A and B are shown apart, each in its own frame.
Chain A
Amino acid sequence: MPGVPPVIRVRLEPCGTLREAFGAPELAFELPEGASLGDLLDRIGAEHGERLAALWNLRERRFRGPVVIMTGTVVVKDRATPLRDQQTVSLHKAVVGG
């Protein structure tokens, strides 16, 4: 449609104890076409940062501690990683012992 910027829809799947932190087993985000993982993280921080409390580093706009971001079985770290329409991004809060 002319004048409407294209968007992509990304599904966020918090796993394990993160479901409780997010308050849902699945969340949907609409992001501008060409959006990156960093854009998704910024949205997560803006919309859920307060709820995530100690898990979210407000100043650096990233998860604090062992929260791992995966697409499929691939661990994604780089904020510049491009996201595509209908992609599922899963979040895992690992227990790291010790």
Chain B
Amino acid sequence: MAEGLNGSTNRQLRIQLTGRQSRIEPVDADAVRRFLGGTGYACKLLSDETASGLDPLGPDSKLVFATGPLCSNTVPGGGSVELCFKSPLTGGWGESRAGSDFGPDMRRAGFDHLIVEGRADAPVYLVIQDDAVAFRPAGHLAGKTVGEKIALITAELPPGRFTIGAIGPAGEHLVKYASVMFGDRAAGRCGAGAVMGAKNLLAIAVSGSGKVEPADPEAFKAALRHATQTLRESPTTAAFHEHGTMGDYAGNDEKGDFPTRNWQSNSWGKGAELFDRYEAENYVKPYPCYRGCHIACARKAQVVAGPYQTPLHGGAEYESIACFTAYLLNEDMDAAVHCAYLCNQYGLDTISAGSTIAFAMECAEKGILTGESLGGLDLAWGNAAVLPELLRLIAHREGVGDLLADGVRLAAQRLGQGAEAFAVHVKGLEGPAHDGRSGKALALSYGTGNRGMCHIHPVEAMAWDSGKMDWGLQKYGLPDPQGVERWDEAGKAPALKLLQDGLNLPEILCTCKFFMYAGITVDHWAELLSGFTGQSTSGADLLAVAERVYTLQRLFNLREGFTAADDQLPARVKAVPVSGRYRDEPDCGIHAYDAMLRDYYVARGWDPRTGVPTESTLQRLQLT
């Protein structure tokens, strides 16, 4: 263990853009031992190497492209890469995952992690081919869409199979929720694209000829067989493949898990009709987002004709489509598919973009954003025609787009006049398309998520108390979801702590979380890791690492000035819906959030009043 993990490269590549230098160095073996990889290793690195209070868009910030010990095309879900950074949107811990061959290709090139520092004096892109690193001028790429950049770079690359990560115009214009795109797949949340843009780094192409082999091939093969059989027998594998993330669109509307009209309601009543339209007219076929994926849940979609004509592309994920329909009361599915495509081409996070537009529509309705400041745009609820132009303005920071490019928290602060009441975010991260009023564990996870109001980092907790999934965590103490009422609040906090730790593991190991929906448990991950490293690891060992990582991320936020006040939910998110099928259901409102939060702090070993990890907890987790 002294030199890292067997079955890993145990090397990292440090890119200093100021001066255009690169250096290959060994990984921090002690950090690997305690935090493994992915978001765990990266959080340790960023905690150690950056000062609190730094400007996320300044030259001193760092952007880590992290892989983990299970990042491999042969591992179920192993086609992943984790981007870690201080978020320009939240000012706190930022992490964002993409499904792609980029991570496995980094490892084939010989690097577990890529650390980007400094700022280039002019736009560049990087070409990494095994140990060779080239800084290439990128002036000709400036202003191009993601697709245009990737096409131009591909034509300039040396022979070899490369995977490319690129920003779009939004990243170049420092939109605070700009994404980094790996083809059609996004590292969308928290603004990694803006960090990259601030560094004048427009893209990275990576290619590797090496192999990362399991240290114990027989044990790894056995673990792989076990995992593959589980996946084959899981109904969720088939469901994911057949329907993708859009599959729950209609059901979420029915369950009250469907934020509508900027969270004024949790249901709309249009879900089934729009889902049928999407399946009939927009959905084309499934595809895998990395080579070897057992599930292939990604969707190819298109709009064949009309004002929103859109070429065949990878996209139309549930979050994107829900944010561009129910959030805005937009009933035009073609427009929603088109907007999700535009976001990917501009390099915008679809969730924050849709949420911010919903906020703007409500501000317009209330007379806070007026015709003059809107430049003549009609931001009436449901007006699909305005959306493409509004996205262009945001991506290029033109007109009202400049205000909206900073996200709802800052936009509301600037607008005043009560706009804060419509700004739905936690820690500055806009809310996604699941509603904590459908299952209260999610509400608490929204408040306590280290990257902010996120449904998936670390856990879609409503899938437990409302959806009755347990992800194999009952053996570690998770209550049987069949015996849990979704609208109860008492007793949810300790369960959430375990759910967050368990579902944090894919970000640390660098695997796809959806495989846990399809039956891969903490114990499967432990078997696979034991085979890959040749060192015996148990599920309990992994949960201990996950708790340590989660607490370290909490410490990162605390040092950046976050307090327990930042774990609060917007009032609107807790209120009984003003419309929709749940408006007469007072139990779906969140009534004792502070009590849940206090219980959660206790479950984590944090001070019940301040939410600061206690000294004994830090010692227990080896974080002192």
Contact = CB atoms under 8 A, between A and B. Distances in A.
A98 B240 CA distance: 10
Contacts of A75: 235, 238
A71 to B, nearest CB: 12
B233 A96 contact: no
A94 B250 contact: no
B276 interface: yes
A95 B460 contact: yes
A54 B467 contact: no
Interface in B263-285: 271-272, 275-276
A7 interface: no
Contacts of B271: 54
B254 A96 contact: no
Interface stretch (B167-175, B241-249, B339-347): B241-249
Q: Which of A67, A92, A94 has the most CB of B within 10 A?
A: A94
A96 B468 contact: no
Given A96-B240, A98-B318, A98-B319, A66 B467 contact: no
Given A17-B467, A64-B275, A96 B235 contact: no
B254 A95 contact: no
B238 A95 contact: no
Given A17-B468, A97-B460, A98-B456, A66 B276 contact: no
Contacts of B249: 65
Contacts of B468: 16-17
A96 B232 CA distance: 16
Contacts of A16: 467-469
Contacts of B275: 64-65
Interface string A32-47: 0000000000000000
B35 interface: no
A94 B236 contact: yes
B90 to A, nearest CB: 21
B377 interface: no
A11 interface: no
Interface residues of A, number: 23
A96 B248 contact: yes
A66 B514 contact: no
A81 interface: no
Interface string A7-51: 000000000110000000000000000000000000000000000
A66 B249 CA distance: 10
B251 A97 contact: no
Interface of B is mostly: helix
A54 B232 CA distance: 27
A65 B245 contact: no
- The A interface, classified by DSSP as helix, strand, loop or mixed, is loop
B12 to A, nearest CB: 30
Nearest to A72: B233
Contacts of A70: 235
Contact of A95 (B244, B253, B517): B517
B349 to A, nearest CB: 14
A53 B254 contact: yes
Nearest to A90: B235
A92 B463 CA distance: 14
A95 B469 contact: yes
B297 A96 contact: yes
Contacts of A97: 240, 245, 248, 318, 456, 460, 463, 513-514, 517
Interface in A47-90: 53-55, 57, 59, 64-68, 70, 73, 75, 77
Contacts of A66: 236, 239-240, 242-243, 247-248, 251
A47 B460 CA distance: 33
B236 A92 contact: yes
Contacts of B406: none
Nearest to A76: B238
B317 interface: yes
Contacts of A73: 232-233
Interface of A: 16-17, 53-55, 57, 59, 64-68, 70, 73, 75, 77, 92-98
Interface of B: 232-233, 235-236, 238-240, 242-251, 253-254, 271-272, 275-276, 297, 317-319, 456, 460, 463, 466-469, 513-514, 517
Given A55-B250, A57-B272, 11 more contacts: A53-B272, A64-B272, A66-B251, A94-B236, A95-B460, A96-B245, A96-B318, A97-B248, A97-B456, A97-B514, A98-B317
Q: 5 closest pairs, A vs B, by CB?
A: A98-B245, A66-B239, A94-B239, A68-B235, A92-B235
